[in-house]
């Protein structure tokens, strides 16, 4: 804590109120007309000023520089000694001043400093007590009895100091624990917010890439068809009509891509069916669209969690979509094998292939890789121009 302890940030205000009550009683005893038979106030004004200053010092406790803490404590001790040796009428109140000193030391010092102040307060209390008793002339028998009383009083005061020291340490430790917990909760909320923002940003990027890869490609081709039709409209109207017909088909394809993207983002594909059934439906869609029937080999003998099954489905879906768009293949082989500790997925085609080092930054490949890595798996893609493509996904199965 670098900020000084003041009234508005005092950690335990009930202790501050207790200080004021004790100091008020000490001042009242100093100015009261009651006279002790053996003692009297030598300098009541100085005593009152010392008590007032001592009380006002409790409104601002240094917590930053160690030098300021030591000077602050020395001034407090001087004020207590002035009150003890000059304010004789406050004899019954002076032990409470040392208790206040120990309480304040617990707020500004660490454990070692608190122990030093507590021990010093005890010895100053005993020295002050013996000095007060030495001012009384008593018979030997009374002196023995008074010595026992002094010993008992000193022991009781020492136990009281120890109690206050332990109590303050407990209160401070509990408060620090609450502050650390509040700080940890705040950091956790900030971290959750950052994760949420990051997830939102990633989802936006994913949607943007998907629109670029599917809808953007269709709209670009549509625009080229329309431009060509406009140029040929007057000179070759029949040919222009053919381009318009192609543009209409591209528009329908673009609309289908949009609907497919919306359906993909808003649906849970495996909510009502198994992974094998969902993959079979994907293969049937590929056959209906391209006329190519994928060769399926699925051996799912081990139970698979919903999270892993959904990730595998999305990877297969993205792979088949890319094959249909770009590969120009005539054969697709899909193998899924689940063993005791892992699940292996292999997707191969005999298409035109591509250079892996130059074509691994698109949304499709990156999405498949991210899904695999998120499950602690291994993603591998092998392809060369005119040599087809092979995708291998190995995901561990954790019970």
Per-residue model confidence (pLDDT) at position 91: 47
User: Residue 40: is its pLDDT beyond 50?
Assistant: no
Q: Which of 20-24, 84-88, 345-349 tops mean pLDDT?
A: 345-349
| The token pair that represents 187 in the structure block | 């950091």
- Tell me phi and psi for residue 396, to 5 degrees: -70, 145
User: Residue 221: is its pLDDT beyond 80?
Assistant: no
| Over residues 7-28, mean pLDDT | 81
CB atoms within 10 A of CB 75: 13
User: Residue 65: is its pLDDT beyond 70?
Assistant: yes
Per-residue model confidence (pLDDT) at position 327: 86
Per-residue model confidence (pLDDT) at position 120: 93
Per-residue model confidence (pLDDT) at position 209: 63
Per-residue model confidence (pLDDT) at position 297: 95
User: Residue 171: is its pLDDT beyond 60?
Assistant: yes
User: Is the Cβ–Cβ distance between 5 and 18 less than 8 Å?
Assistant: no
| The token pair that represents 379 in the structure block | 């993603």
pLDDT tens-digit map of 318-352? 888 888 888 889 999 999 999 888 999 999 999 99
Per-residue model confidence (pLDDT) at position 37: 43
Per-residue model confidence (pLDDT) at position 393: 96
Which region among 86-95, 243-252, 280-289 has the lowest average model confidence (pLDDT)? 86-95
Alpha-carbon span 201 to 205, nearest angstrom: 6
| Over residues 87-108, mean pLDDT | 74
Which region among 191-195, 259-263, 281-285 has the lowest average model confidence (pLDDT)? 259-263
3.30.565.10, 3.40.50.1950, 3.30.70.360, 3.10.20.600: which CATH number matches 270-399? 3.30.565.10
Q: Are strands 389-396 and 60-61 parallel, antiparallel or unpaired?
A: unpaired
pLDDT tens-digit map of 9-18? 888 888 888 8
Where residue 358 falls among pLDDT bands split at 50, 70, 90? Answer: confident
The residue extents of the domains of the chain are 5-137, 270-399
Per-residue model confidence (pLDDT) at position 279: 92
User: Is the Cβ–Cβ distance between 80 and 117 less than 8 Å?
Assistant: no
Alpha-carbon span 226 to 250, nearest angstrom: 10
- Strand residues in the chain grouped as ranges (E): 5-6, 60-61, 295-300, 332-338, 342-349, 378-383, 389-396
User: Is the Cβ–Cβ distance between 359 and 381 less than 8 Å?
Assistant: no
User: Is the Cβ–Cβ distance between 324 and 289 less than 8 Å?
Assistant: yes
Per-residue model confidence (pLDDT) at position 39: 44
User: Is the Cβ–Cβ distance between 66 and 2 less than 8 Å?
Assistant: no
- Integer angstrom CA distances of residue 257 from 111, 148, 214, 215, 396: 70, 99, 7, 6, 33
User: Residue 34: is its pLDDT beyond 60?
Assistant: no
User: Is the Cβ–Cβ distance between 269 and 310 less than 8 Å?
Assistant: yes
pLDDT tens-digit map of 117-160? 999 999 988 888 777 777 667 677 776 777 778 888 889 889 98
| The token pair that represents 149 in the structure block | 């009383």
What rounded mean pLDDT belongs to the chain?
A: 81
- Integer angstrom CA distances of residue 302 from 296, 306, 368, 372: 18, 13, 22, 18
Per-residue model confidence (pLDDT) at position 1: 47
DSSP 9: G
| The token pair that represents 140 in the structure block | 């030997």
* In the block, residue with structure tokens 């009502």: 272
Alpha-carbon span 102 to 6, nearest angstrom: 17
Q: Give the residue from 99, 95, 77, 98 showing the smallest Cα distance to 15.
A: 99
Per-residue model confidence (pLDDT) at position 75: 92
User: Residue 390: is its pLDDT beyond 70?
Assistant: yes
DSSP 109: S
Percentage of the chain lying above the pLDDT 70 cut: 84
| Over residues 104-123, mean pLDDT | 90
User: Residue 218: is its pLDDT beyond 70?
Assistant: no
Where residue 396 falls among pLDDT bands split at 50, 70, 90? Answer: very high
Q: Give the residue from 330, 338, 395, 399 showing the smallest Cα distance to 369.
A: 395
Please provide the size of the chain in residues: 399
pLDDT tens-digit map of 227-273? 888 888 888 888 888 888 888 887 887 787 777 666 666 556 676 78
CB atoms within 10 A of CB 172: 16
């Amino acid at each position: 804590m670098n900020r000084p302890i003041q009234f508005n940030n005092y950690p335990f205000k009930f202790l501050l109120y207790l200080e004021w009550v004790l100091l008020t009683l000490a001042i009242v005893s100093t100015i009261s007309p009651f006279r002790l038979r053996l003692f009297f106030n030598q300098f009541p004004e100085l005593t009152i000023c010392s008590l007032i200053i001592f009380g006002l010092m409790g409104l601002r406790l240094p917590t930053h520089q160690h030098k300021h803490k030591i000077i602050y404590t020395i001034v407090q001790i001087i004020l207590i000694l002035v009150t003890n040796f000059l304010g004789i009428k406050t004899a019954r109140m002076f032990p409470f001043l040392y208790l206040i000193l120990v309480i304040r030391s617990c707020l500004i010092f660490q454990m070692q400093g608190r122990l030093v102040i507590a021990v010093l307060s005890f010895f100053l209390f005993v020295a002050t007590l013996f000095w007060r008793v030495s001012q009384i002339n008593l018979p030997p028998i009374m002196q023995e009895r008074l010595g026992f009383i002094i010993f008992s009083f000193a022991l009781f005061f020492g136990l009281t100091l120890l109690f206050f020291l332990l109590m303050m340490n407990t209160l401070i430790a509990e408060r620090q624990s609450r502050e650390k917990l509040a700080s940890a909760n705040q950091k956790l909320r900030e971290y959750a917010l950052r994760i949420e923002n990051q997830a939102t940003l990633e989802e936006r990027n994913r949607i943007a890439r998907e629109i670029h890869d599917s809808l953007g490609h269709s709209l670009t081709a549509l625009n080229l068809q329309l431009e060509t039709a406009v140029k040929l409209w007057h000179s070759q109207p029949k040919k222009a009509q053919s381009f318009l017909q192609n543009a209409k088909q591209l528009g329908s394809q673009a609309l289908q891509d949009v609907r497919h993207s919306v359906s993909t983002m808003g649906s849970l594909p495996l909510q009502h069916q198994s992974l094998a059934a969902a993959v079979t439906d994907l293969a049937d869609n590929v056959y209906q669209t391209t006329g190519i029937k994928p060769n399926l080999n699925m051996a799912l003998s081990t139970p698979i969690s919903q999270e892993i099954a959904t990730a595998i489905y999305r990877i297969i879906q993205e792979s088949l979509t890319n094959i249909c768009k770009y590969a120009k293949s005539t054969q697709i082989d899909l193998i899924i094998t689940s063993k005791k500790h892992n699940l292996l997925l292999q997707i191969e085609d005999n298409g035109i292939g591509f250079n892996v080092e130059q074509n691994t930054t698109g949304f499709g490949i990156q999405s498949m890789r991210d899904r695999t890595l998120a499950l602690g798996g291994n993603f591998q893609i092998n392809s060369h121009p005119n040599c087809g493509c092979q995708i291998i996904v190995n995901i561990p199965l954790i019970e």
